[in-house]
Amino acid sequence: METRSAKRKKLLLNAISEKTPQGHEDRISDLPDAVLHHILFLLPIRSIAQASILSKRWRQIWYTFPDLDFTSVGAVADAPVKNATDSKKLHSLLAKGAEFISQVLALRDHNKYSDLRVLRFRACLSFSSLNGLIRRAIRFNVQELDIEVTTNDFFNFPRSVVLSQSLRIFRLKSQYPGFRLPPVTILKGGFGSLLSLSLSRVILYDQPSLLNLFSGSSFPMLKKLSLEIFIGLKHLSVSCRGLEDLTLENCFQLEDLEICSPKLENLRIVGCFDAYSSSSLLKIDGPRIKMIFWSHNSIPANCSVENLISLHEAFVGFFVLHEDMSAAKLRSVSNFLSGLSHSQSLTLESPCIEILSKNYHFGGVFQYPFSRLISMELQTGFNTHNLPGLAGLFRNSPKVHTLIMKIDEVQNAERRKWNRDLWESSSSGEERFWESQSQAMNSFLHHLKVVKIHGFSECENDISLVKFLLKHGKVLQEMFLSSSLSKPGNSLEREKIKSQIMGFSRASSNAKIWFQ
């Protein structure tokens, strides 16, 4: 079935290519260039090229079209070269990938109104072809250059980009095999007008330190920075004065990271830090940071997260080796979380709760409570051994209104089933534990209004927590208990347990329980 978008493009093409009857005015061709450029932007690049043969007027529109998006034309070689057959296929793509792009750019060489606003392409190219295309785009004063390439060998970062005065947005992603940066001294001499920079798959074995590159003097106007798969990078410092958005992904050899950008608002760090380093260091100072996304990162040995007074949302997850749980790294996690104390929304990915529970056995505590926290989401296996971590979070979150728990189905597979008769004859250890925490969690229990538990099962851990929150939640309004659909169970037994839960005593007369 034809999509609405495809239908609109077909109608537009028909309107452009339809011959005007004798005596009738060609209203489309009489539109200003800027309006026609905006209309043509809705079409694939090949369709725009086809329209250029209609008349001199349309040829002129094509030669001056400012937004060249070849992403629907160039094919990126997804598979790496492993043998001679793959190499032949790659060279075949090399001949086709740049041909159309080169032809289009060549048509603009002698047109004085040929400045480019946007050039995007995905292609399999030789380095010489890639470098030639980039140099030509720079001559056309391109403002946004978005490139995703596969080459037959490592290539060097195009130096023509560094000195461009027109470039505002630059994205270079190497699918395979990667590229090398020129010396830092050369990089620091350019990028005076750059607003956004994204680099992916960079080889840095010869220069593992980028401590002096991403500074205010090197990138005076940079607002957005994304660094992905920097192989060999060990030391990184980011202190651009105007930076607002920073992303680091898969820099797995990183040992030292220092971030101090006064206007930074969004920080995303995924898959970074050397898990085997015993001296790794993290420093974050960001008075305007509103959002932190920290996922699948190894625990740095030393951690300083300060001055996050504007923080609104934080997502935290760690990658942990079994032999990585030293007392120093456990305290580092506490220091990290303490630095997020101003956050209003906090999500902790597994195994954060397990780490915190181990930390409490070492005597680790939060330096500062989450006094502004309103919404908390926890992903956990929810076993008996991580109850101290949960209780510690609840004690240090005195004003939380919404608690969301997502229980890991794999981790909770062997938890003990709840048996009401046995429980009532002798209260369980879980129930006694929660009751012992009721005074320390008094403020938390006087603010909590909504509880959502996903992956809820008929286990003692789950039911003892539900019973405790119902019994002590003074302002509790809604409790949603959602069972895992993929986990088999006796439906009759489940209905019986639901009925028993509905009979638990409630501190709040407004508390409603919903089962899903």
- What is the rounded CA–CA span in Å between residue 58 and residue 410? 62
User: For residue 296, what is the enclosing H or E element?
Assistant: strand 291-298
pLDDT digits (tens, 9 = 90+) for 194-210: 999 999 999 998 889 99
Average of per-residue pLDDT values in the chain: 83
Task: Using the predicted structure, report yes or no on whether residue 22 has a pLDDT greater than 60.
Answer: no
| Tokens (6 digits) for 227 | 């660094």
All residues at 6 or more sequence positions from 293 whose CB lies less than 8 Å from its CB, including other chains: 267, 268, 269, 270, 315
pLDDT of residue 82: 47
All residues at 6 or more sequence positions from 99 whose CB lies less than 8 Å from its CB, including other chains: none
Look at 86-95, 148-157, 206-215, 375-384 and tell me which has the smallest mean pLDDT. Answer: 86-95
- What is the rounded CA–CA span in Å between residue 44 and residue 73? 9
- What is the rounded CA–CA span in Å between residue 89 and residue 74? 15
Is the pLDDT higher at 460 or at 244?
A: 244
- What is the rounded CA–CA span in Å between residue 249 and residue 238? 15
Q: Read off the pLDDT of each residue in 426-430 and give the average, rounded to a whole number.
A: 67
Domain boundaries, the chain: 28-65, 344-516
Q: Read off the pLDDT of each residue in 38-66 and give the average, rounded to a whole number.
A: 68
Residue type at position 184: V
pLDDT digits (tens, 9 = 90+) for 100-143: 788 778 877 766 657 899 999 988 888 888 898 999 999 999 99
Task: Using the predicted structure, report yes or no on whether residue 360 has a pLDDT greater than 70.
Answer: no
Task: Using the predicted structure, report yes or no on whether residue 79 has a pLDDT greater than 50.
Answer: no
pLDDT category at 491 given cuts 50, 70, 90 is confident
Q: How far, in Å, are 5, 7, 373, 391, 454 from residue 354 at the CA level?
A: 49, 54, 21, 12, 18
Strands 266-270 and 245-249: parallel
pLDDT digits (tens, 9 = 90+) for 132-175: 899 999 999 999 999 999 888 889 998 889 989 999 999 999 98
